[in-house]
Structure 1
Amino acid sequence: MADSGFRLGIDFGTSNTVAVLRWPDGRTKPLLFDGSPLLPSAVYVNADGTILTGRDAMHSARLQPHRFEPYPKRRVEEGTVWLGERDVPVLELVASVLRRVTTEAERVAGAKPGQVNITHPATWPQQRRQTLAQAATAAGLPAPLLSSEPVAAASYFVGTVGTHVPVGGIAVVYDFGAGTFDASVVRRNAGGGFDMLVSEGLPDAGGLDVDAAVVAYLGRNFAGREGDQWRRLTNPESESDRRAAWQLWEDARLAKEMLSRAATTYVHVPLFDESVPIGREQLEQLAKPILDRTVTATQIAIQSAGAAQSQVAAVFLVGGSSRIPLAATLLHRALGLAPTAIEQPELVVAEGALHLAPPTGRASVGGTTGTPIVPSPTSGGPRPTSGGGMEVSGDVAAAPVSAAPVSGQPVSPAFSMPSMTPHLPPVLQTGTMPAVPAQQTPPPVSTPPVSPPPVSTPPVSPPPMQRPPVAFPQQRPPVYQPPPPPVVQQRPPVVVPPVVQQTPPWQAPPPPPPQKRTGTFLAIGGGVLALLLVIGGIVWFGNRNGGGGETPGGDGGTSQAAAPPASPACGYKIAYLGMASGTGSDDGIMMRNSVRMAVDEYNLKHTDCPVTFAEFDTQGKEDLSKSKANDLVADSKIIGVIGPVYRNEIISAGPILNTAGIPMIAPFAADVDLTTMGWGTFYRIIGSDEDQANAGARYLKNTIKAKKIAIVYDDTAFGEVGRKAVSNTLGSLAGTTVSIKRADKDFASAVKQVTDGGNDAVYFAGQADDGAVFVKALRTAKPNFPIVSSDKVFTQGFVNNTAGVADGLIATCPCLPAEKAGGDFASKYQAKFEQTPTYYGPESYDAANVFLAGLQAGKATREDMVKYVRAYTGKGVAREIKFDASGNLDVPDPVIWSYKVANPYMKIDTAIPPA
């Protein structure tokens, strides 16, 4: 099926299902079901076998509750459910709900969605996820991408609301829904997405439990009055009693929601025909035991994640019941951090799911997307991708923008939000009035308790109403952390002071100036060659093995550091150290595969002296980077490392590798300060951020031909590097210079300075999240205003979040488009891995071939390999390769490419000519 360009995010919830549709131009809108964005997940099986869903199901259930299943999500592992007179497959029940979503999405869009992302609880095992995927295809949807709910929620708050969570930072997702509660701890990874760390759940704490507490409170006043009328409300048998019971629970719910924005309200009690006043203080006293348990579960989740409360960067409120003001108050007191909420918390997860699609590392170029999960009745799980991962859940920080503005901010204890949630009265679960378990004393919270406000009505103690036991496992399975659709790869804006280290005894002194780098033998050899040519016209053979020879797999370029012939070094290993699984791993998988391809090609030519490929997957995490680096160092056969990949990985692993004397060639991280750390074994095979900024300035000057260019930069080391480089390159063309603070998130002043300064273009040196806010504000003030930025904004999240407003923006990148690489790289990669090559593959391939050339030249110790790399000069499939004394590329043109935003993708623009 051709991709229609429409994207659909679905939050299949316990009580309600929410779906958000994204148009090809970036607009998003929640689908409406009977006028509400909340579709009850309930199903009702008619006598003829047809299935009703949503409010139709709830309406029909009043008469024949034995045909009714209010919470099919809780039954997803059971296989079948007895409804009416037959066993009904759970897959059919779930598919019926999703089919309703499919129908509405096609009606609104006028076409089938091209891509669907469905969320699931973080703790769901593979079987449940597979059932969900199969139900989606049975409902007529394309094979879905599956994402964990907390990851989708966190991605929404960071991508759309603009909450700042640094790379490596911890966030808590407080999901208080109608039926259950979950507290999840997520960590922002090097790819800009989120990793699940831990989730703590309470299956018996939700909005329904608060409703039940309100009904129980009313029962203290009405039980025993006027015969058996209260019993008729709590255990209805006739149709009229069931309607009355329904009205009672509905009024209790509405009162609860109204008290989130009003001080007092009334609950009408049918059969008695009385309206009972209830105030916010009374509601908070009733809800507090439940909320205390949720706060305790949140604290336990943080402790289980191995984090201190002071390390939490943000707390996100999700789920309709999180509107209760006391929830924010208790969390603030317990954690010392004001939670962040939006006006419609029910929509967060569904719209957040759109952040996680499409599953690409960088922005999609020309519409390339990743591999979705393909449901198979016999597979028992998702298909592996050719990159070695499993496309199961998505943790991508790619943020679409709602058609209407969304306000997200830390909430005060008295924040007010409108009501939307039609909860299901438990009376419809079995046909008799259930009740919540008796309120028990919650575990102590490690912060001062909140004193309950006084209740205007003296409490009495009849047996409380009890909600029926729920069919949900009390023992939650281990947290599942599947590799999700990859996300945008972003280096963290961390400023790390240079590390000054003593030079290890193995380390060679700094190399001489470039013209002398090749050493005495080359000088002598060159003289002999000249003499032989003059005397006898003899062509002296070149491409000797001693200094690199012909680059294996390259374009036939040669290293100029020739040395006497040597036998290849055998039995050694080349390692890849970096992210190869987990959130945002596409770029890492591409790099790893490219290294493997270079090694395989080398071994085909050296069958008697093969090289072993070793992989050390860090998942983009600092702690794993450190431990994997130690493992790598312990293997004496490893003589060179491609990686680490991301900045945080390099900061963690670099000192360990340097101390061990292992040469490392980074194919990704462009941060300028990484080559100032005092590491004698670190080399970078791409241009730096400074090279990017210089190229961006040249593009503005020579291609756009702007005459006065504003420079907008953020308060990070990256921003300062960009400002200096662009200013120096532009010279007299530099116009207004504007500094922005990332914490402000209000760039109106910066936009005004740019527009009022008579500038005709702007260079933005900042991060993607801030860039989206700034670009939208600038393009609103001046549509089509020329903007150039760096690879920080070369992400699918930025493209989605700017919703077409950024079209035409130029993002530079030191990454060569794979199809532009030499040596038939792209077609070889496609043939080997059955996957289109993307970014940083050519560079990784070249890095591997530098080490392989060293092994071919007989370099059999780490010390010799360091010297070899330091003196290397050659041509790879991506660019000329030569390093300076700091480890940077030392070539006339490091090759910086420009890419142009063309929503919903990026388009390859051009290689920016050198100065």
Structure 2
Amino acid sequence: MMVGLGVSIGTVNTVRAVAYGGGKHGPGHRGRRGHCPPETWRTTLTFDSTGTARVGRIPKHGRAITDFADLTQRSAPTARVGHRALSAADLVATVAATVLTDVRELTDVREPESGVTVTHPAGYPPQRVDDLREALDAAGLEQAVLAAEPVAAAAWLEDACGPMMPGLALVYDLGGSGLRVTLVRVGAGCPTDPVVGESLRSSDFGGRAFGAQMARRSGWRSGDGSNAASDAVITELRTKHVRKSLGMVYKCLRVADVTMADVDCVLVIGGAARPPEVVDVLAAALARPIIVAPDPEHTVAEGAAILARRSVEGETGTTGHRRGWWRGGPARLGRVGAGRLFGRRAVRVTATAAIAATAALCATTAVAGDATIPAADACVAHPCR
């Protein structure tokens, strides 16, 4: 049984997904032990007295480590556990290792032929990718592949909606901490680095930005007066919020020297993309098919799991053997575990994650008909109007 494991570690939430060989991934798939949908945690870390890391907890007493997932911050959060100083990359690797420890129990497979993909933002410079690579190696995830988030999202698109004609997909990632817009080549013959132009990000849009906008609105908390935040008011404000974000889309197109006419579809992902106003505004303004998963927050992790499964299929064929991906247990920084987890870092893997992940995607992409027809149970296509 081949299993692909995908982990997406965002500023606000962390998602883990599983993709099984020979079948679809996601909520509709049942493994040996039954239902195994994607799981979500808050991206927070706490350490107990033994140095064991726990993800997603907000303790009543003590401090949870937060806002460390973006390695490009000028003053990225760090932590000290015992006598160890942990960088932001170490914290991200700890999250990945922690949320993967119970996968064997979920799949009921002791030694599965499995692969792991951990995603990162498309805008990471090579040095940040190297830092994350070294941290994952030190955390016992040497075989984990790194992939850019829009590349993983494109893998989900091809898997859920069928083989695609060669072309461009615009990935509109509206998350809790911001908006990232990226152009990605899809279909047969795409290059090893499918990102076209520059991936652009802004913290002016997304869940936190919209929440701050609502908080500044006079009288909305009390519900008194004409400024009370009724559903209609919230819908209107969110619509305006998304319309303002279109400037990011057009800037991304200009940087890549293309127009919207060159784009085949728009893939909407991210936890803040759930409200229907997001898809409605984009469909009306961009005049392109809009594709969104039932829960767009899971798209990147599910795509990462698909890439991981494909990498295993590429290495083993259908019956070959592959060494297990995990050599450790729960992330721990005690006297025994500290040396193994955050001691001398392993030698860097020579092949970059983006190349490995996109190669797996391109190798399995085929030519389809004149249109992309999404599977009804996998995604929702909003036709252009």
TM-score when normalising by structure 1: 0.33
Q: 2:258 is paired with a residue of what secondary structure? A: coil
- Contact map agreement 1:68 1:83 (CA 8 A) in 2: no
For residues 471-870 of structure 1, what are the structure 2 equivalents within 5 Å? 484-485=359-360, 487-488=362-363, 492=367
Separation of aligned partners in 2, 1:145 and 1:39? 21
Q: Match for 2:176: what amino acid?
A: A
Residue 265 (structure 2) aligns with: 314
Q: Which residue of 1 aligns with 2:10?
A: 13
Query: How much does 1:286 deviate?
Result: 3.0
1:305 Cα deviation from its structure 2 partner: 1.3
Distance in 1 of aligned mates of 2:141 and 2:116: 7
Listed one character per residue, the Cα deviations across residues 675-714 of structure 1 (whole Å, up to 9, x for unaligned) are xxxxxxxxxxxxxxxxxxxxxxxxxxxxxxxxxxxxxxxx
Tell me which residue corresponds to 2:65: 69
1:292 is matched with 243
Report the Cα offset of residue 309 of structure 1: 0.9
Match of 2:300 among 342, 346, 349: 349
SS in 2 for 1:147: strand
- Of 251, 255, 280, which aligns to 2:231? 280
Q: Secondary structure of the residue that 2:362 maps to in structure 1? A: coil
Secondary structure, counterpart of 2:248 in structure 1: helix
Corresponding residue to 1:104 among 98, 102, 105: 102
- 2:170/2:263 contact within 8 Å kept: yes
Distance change (3 Å), C-alpha of 1:745 and 1:174:
closer
CA contact (8 A) 1:18 1:347 kept: yes
Please report how far the alpha carbon of residue 129 of structure 1 lies from its aligned counterpart in structure 2 after TM superposition: 2.2
Q: CA separation in 2, counterparts of 1:151 and 1:361? A: 19
Aligned equivalent of 1:365: 317
Matched residue, 1:196: 195
Query: Secondary structure, in 3 states, of the residue corresponding to 2:103?
Result: helix
> Does residue 1:333 correspond to 2:284, yes or no?
yes
Amino acid at match of 1:8: L
Deviations 1:816-858 (A, max 9, x none): xxxxxxxxxxxxxxxxxxxxxxxxxxxxxxxxxxxxxxxxxxx
- 1:383 pairs with 347, 350, 354, which one? 350
Shift of 1:5: 2.8
Write out per-residue CA displacement over residues 63-119 of structure 1, whole angstroms, 9 at most, x where no aligned residue.
44xx33222212477686146998433344223312321222122123366210111
Q: How far does residue 141 in structure 1 lie from its aligned partner after superposition?
A: 3.5
Q: Rate the CA distance shift 1:156–1:336 in 2: closer, same or farther, 3 A.
A: same
Mark the runs of 5 or more structure 1 residues left unpaired by the alignment.
223-266, 270-275, 385-389, 397-483, 494-714, 716-740, 748-915
CA distance in 2, matches of 1:361, 1:104: 23
The one-letter code matched in structure 1 to 2:317 is V
> What is the match of residue 531 of structure 1?
none
* Pair 1:23–1:339, CA change in 2 (3 A): closer
Q: Which amino acid aligns with 1:356?
A: L
Are the structure 2 counterparts of residues 112 and 173 from structure 1 closer, same or farther at C-alpha, using a change threshold of 3 Å?
Answer: farther
Contact 2:68 2:92 in 1 (8 A): yes
Aligned to 1:175: 173
String of CA shifts for 1:707-735, please: whole Å, max 9, x gaps: xxxxxxxx6xxxxxxxxxxxxxxxxxxxx
Name which of 39, 42, 55 aligns with 2:41. Answer: 39
Pair 745,91 (structure 1): closer, same or farther in 2 beyond 3 Å: closer
Structure 1 residues 88 and 337 mapped into 2: Cα distance closer, same or farther (>3 Å)?
same
Equivalent-residue separation in structure 1 for 2:189 and 2:375 (angstroms): 25
SS at match of 2:363: coil
Alpha-carbon distance in structure 2 between the residues aligned to 1:153 and 1:100: 23
Counterpart in the other structure of 2:383: none
Conservation of the 8 A alpha-carbon contact between 1:145 and 1:393: no
Q: Is the 8 A contact 2:269 2:292 kept in 1?
A: yes
Change (3 A) 1:92 1:21: same
Equivalent AA in structure 2 for residue 109 of structure 1? T
CA contact (8 A) 1:8 1:354 kept: yes
Matches within 5 A, 1:121-136: 121-136=121-136
Query: Does 2:208 correspond to 1:208?
Result: yes
Cα deviation code 1:291-338 (max 9, x no counterpart): 234221011112211111112110011011112222222212321124
Q: Secondary structure of the residue that 1:44 maps to in structure 2?
A: strand
Extract unaligned runs of 5+ from structure 2.
32-36, 326-343, 377-385
The answer to whether the Cα contact below 8 Å between 2:185 and 2:195 also exists between their aligned partners in 1 is yes
Query: Residue type matched to 1:120 in 2?
Result: H
Q: Over aligned residue pairs, what C-alpha RMSD do you find?
A: 4.0
Q: Check 1:354–1:218 CA distance in 2 against 1; reply closer, same or farther (3 A cut).
A: same
Distance 1:370 1:349, change over 3 A: farther
Aligned letter for 2:65?
Answer: E
Q: What is aligned with 1:152?
A: 152
Q: Secondary structure at the match of 1:119?
A: strand
State the SS of the aligned residue for 1:356.
helix
SS in 2 for 1:349: helix
Report the Cα distance in structure 1 between the residues aligned to 2:164 and 2:21, rounded to whole angstroms.
Answer: 28
Q: What CA distance in whole angstroms lies between the structure 2 residues aligned with 1:187 and 1:91?
A: 29
**What's the TM-score, normalizing by structure 2?**
0.74
Q: Distance in 2 between matches of 1:25 and 1:361?
A: 10
> Whose RCO is larger (CA < 8 A, sep 6+)?
2
The SS at the match of 2:194 is: strand
Deviation at 1:171, TM superposition (A): 0.9
Q: Secondary structure at the match of 1:343?
A: coil
What residue identity is the alignment partner of 1:96?
A: T
Structure 1 residues 491 and 63, CA gap change in structure 2 (3 angstroms) = closer
Residue 347 to residue 393, structure 1, CA distance change in 2 (3 Å):
farther
- Where does residue 522 of structure 1 map in the other structure? none
Cα contact 1:115–1:144 (8 A) shared by 2: yes
Does the 8 A contact of 1:295 with 1:330 survive in 2? no
TM-aligned CA distance change 1:97 to 1:5, over 3 Å: same
Structure 1 contact 360–487 (Cα < 8 Å) conserved:
no
* 2:55 alignment partner in structure 1: 53
Amino acid at match of 1:73: A
Looking at structure 1, the residues matched to 232 and 201 of structure 2 have their Cα atoms a distance apart, in angstroms, of: 27
Q: Distance in 2 between matches of 1:106 and 1:333?
A: 45
| Counterpart residue type for residue 261 of structure 2 | S
Confirm or deny: 8 A CA contact 1:22 1:28 kept in the other structure.
yes
**CA–CA distance in structure 1, aligned partners of residues 362 and 64 of structure 2:** 40
User: Compared with structure 1, are the counterparts of its residues 296 and 112 closer, same or farther at alpha carbon in structure 2 (3 Å cutoff)?
Assistant: farther
Distance in 1, Cα, partners of 2:269 & 2:259 = 22
Within 1, Cα distance between the matches of 2:187 and 2:20?
28
User: 1:282 aligns to what SS in structure 2?
Assistant: helix
1:217 and 2:225 equivalent? Answer: no
The answer to whether the 8 Å contact 1:98/1:135 transfers is no
Aligned partners of 1:391 and 1:485 also within 8 Å: no
Secondary structure in 1 aligned to 2:235? helix
How big is the shift at 1:743? 5.7
* Equivalent residue letter for 1:9: G
